[in-house]
Amino acid sequence: MPPSLTSFTDDARIAIDNLADRAVGLVNPTVRLGVTGLSRAGKTVFISSLVHNLLNGGRLPLLEPIRSGRVSSIKLEPQPDDAIPRFQYEDHIQALVRDRVWPDSTRAISELRITIDYQSASGWNRMFSPGRLSIDIVDYPGEWLLDLPLLGQNYRAFSEATVALAGTGIRAELSREWLGLYSSIDPDAPADEMTARRLAEAFAAYLKACKSDERSLSTLAPGRFLMPGDLEGSPALTFAPLPNIPEHRAPKGSLRAMMERRYEAYKAIVVKPFFRDHFARLDRQIVLIDALQAINRGQEAVQDLERALADVLACFRPGTNSLLSSLLGRRIDKVLVAATKADHLHHESHDRLEKLTARLVDRVIHRIGMAGAGIEVMAIASVRSTREATVNEGGEALPVIVGTPMAGERIGAETFDGNRKTAVFPGDLPQDPELFFRQLGEPGAELLEINFVRFRPPALEETGSGIKLSVPHIRLDRAMQFLFGDRLA
């Protein structure tokens, strides 16, 4: 990415914000943890489970300060940013625990502060004061992160890249209506609001079709077209890329000039404020991806996930071309890429999912020419919705997972009602990631045979006194240790 993504005024405001954060951090040490993810990766579930397990004594053996008994108290506190909506933890955990439904997905930015009191592992530090760390969890949609590369693209470059991608694979069919509208339009004709509106609506419908469960594609910028919020119907969201833009400058008052102006307005009104006010202030970041869903959908979904992940990781590039350069040394120094829904596989395939994801990240890092230092990869389940069992099939022991499929889920000819448990043989992921990606690139590559079923959240067990236990998970404690365990040393 080019270094000119922000103006001098932006840089000055970012520097002032970071100085203020640092000043507050001297009194109350704080780590700002960004949580985002690509479509349906489970950001809300991750935060809710993380907080619930910390507050309710969950099983976190890999989080060293918990294991060693150095943590004395953990509590929610008011967040420091009054202008940002609070992450509604109580509502989300109630949906998970009481109603056994998955909470609504992230639609906008939100924040939550959790404060941990602990004893330092260093006897020298314990002599001066007890340790305290506030973790400000900043939740934002992955589509917003995918918008950041737009800051380095003019309208022509954006249009060329978006139109070229729309002509590939399944996207060619999904984009037919949007691109078909252009055949009867002269971009240099006088601007017409209804024409701009028809193009924008057709473009937004194309992005939504790409995001649907049936396609599970991940490259979906501009993100606000999928979640417009209070900008719905505004000129900043009423534009679309145009194919074959002429070389000459857009005539004043033309449709093309209108589109260019609105594209720049989108960057100024939507993308820059997110970067300046939120992204540039983060210390640590977790990026959740639904690699299993992409693998299940096949070649195009995996390749699109790789493309989106390249755009995401490029936002964290260190050095002179970093998005966070010239910010008084502030950097996102740790990035975790977590493949979610490991509970949809038998534990024998958990390491395989992690290796496949790690190879995907390695391919991305090589592709965009960045170093992999500070980037970790894990396979996790923020909420474990299944348990493991063994069934006999033709005299052979078959490893299965047992859970309650969501209402409407189907296995073969059977449709589930959301109440009955069932055992599912999920299938096996390949042992060799290199072979998988090599075969994936071959024409006519076959889909892996994975029985992918969406399960309801689990029914939590109760103690003898009727208190529900904490939300079960897979490797959530390992993720915590990487993201902030070092700050509790």
3-state secondary structure the chain: CCCCCCCHHHHHHHHHHHHHHHHHHHHCCEEEEEEEECCCCCHHHHHHHHHHHHHCCCCCCCCHHHHCCCEEEEEEECCCCCCCCECCHHHHHHHHHCCCCCCCCCCCCEEEEEEEEECCCCHHHHCCCCEEEEEEEEECCHHHHHHHHHHHCCHHHHHHHHHHHHCCCCHHHHCHHHHHHHCCCCCCCECCHHHHHHHHHHHHHHHHHHHCCCCCCCCCCCHHHCCCHHHCCCHHHCCCCCCCCCCCCCCCCEHHHHHHHHHHHHHHHHHHHHHHHCHHHCCEEEEEECHHHHHHHCHHHHHHHHHHHHHHHHCCCCCCCCCCCCCCCCCCCEEEEEECCHHHCCHHHHHHHHHHHHHHHHHHHHHHCCCCCCEEEEECECCCCCEEEEEEECCEEEEEEEECECCCCEECCEECCCCCCEEECCCCCCCCHHHHHHHHCCCCCCCCCCCCCCECCCCCCECCCCCECCCCCECHHHHHHHHHHHHHC
Q: Classify strands 30-37 and 284-289 as parallel, antiparallel or unpaired.
A: parallel
**Mean pLDDT score, 128-141:** 89
**Mean pLDDT score, 111-135:** 83
The answer on pLDDT for 369 being more than 90 is no
442: exposed, middle or buried (C-beta count within 10 Å: 0-12, 13-18, 19+)?
Answer: exposed
The fold for domain 8-140+278-383+475-488 equals: Rossmann fold (3.40.50)
Q: How confident is the model over 266-302, as pLDDT tens digits?
A: 999 999 999 989 998 999 999 999 999 888 888 888 9
Q: How confident is the model over 166-176, as pLDDT tens digits?
A: 999 999 999 99
pLDDT band at 5 (very low <50, low <70, confident <90, very high): low
What rounded mean pLDDT belongs to the chain?
87
Q: How confident is the model over 31-71, as pLDDT tens digits?
A: 999 999 987 899 999 999 999 999 999 999 999 999 999 99
3-state helix/strand/coil string of 166-188: HCCCCHHHHCHHHHHHHCCCCCC
The answer on pLDDT for 255 being more than 80 is yes
pLDDT of 398: 87
pLDDT of 470: 87
The answer on pLDDT for 396 being more than 50 is yes
Distance CA 362, CA 434 (A): 11
Distance CA 384, CA 345 (A): 11
pLDDT band at 2 (very low <50, low <70, confident <90, very high): very low
pLDDT band at 17 (very low <50, low <70, confident <90, very high): low
Any bridge partners for residue 256, and if so which?
A: none
pLDDT band at 339 (very low <50, low <70, confident <90, very high): very high
Domain boundaries, the chain: 8-140+278-383+475-488, 154-270
Percent of the chain with pLDDT over 70: 87
pLDDT of 75: 97
The answer on pLDDT for 323 being more than 60 is no
**Mean pLDDT score, 342-361:** 94
**Mean pLDDT score, 133-153:** 93
Percent of the chain with pLDDT over 90: 60
Of the listed ranges 67-71, 375-379, 393-397, 398-402, the one predicted with least confidence? 393-397
- Burial of 85-114, coded b for 16+ CB within 10 Å and e otherwise, reads eebbbeebbebbbeebebbeebeebbbbbb
**Mean pLDDT score, 442-470:** 73
pLDDT band at 317 (very low <50, low <70, confident <90, very high): low
> Alpha-carbon dihedral of residues 122, 123, 124, 127, nearest 10 degrees?
130
pLDDT band at 366 (very low <50, low <70, confident <90, very high): confident
pLDDT of 318: 46
The answer on pLDDT for 241 being more than 80 is yes
pLDDT of 104: 86
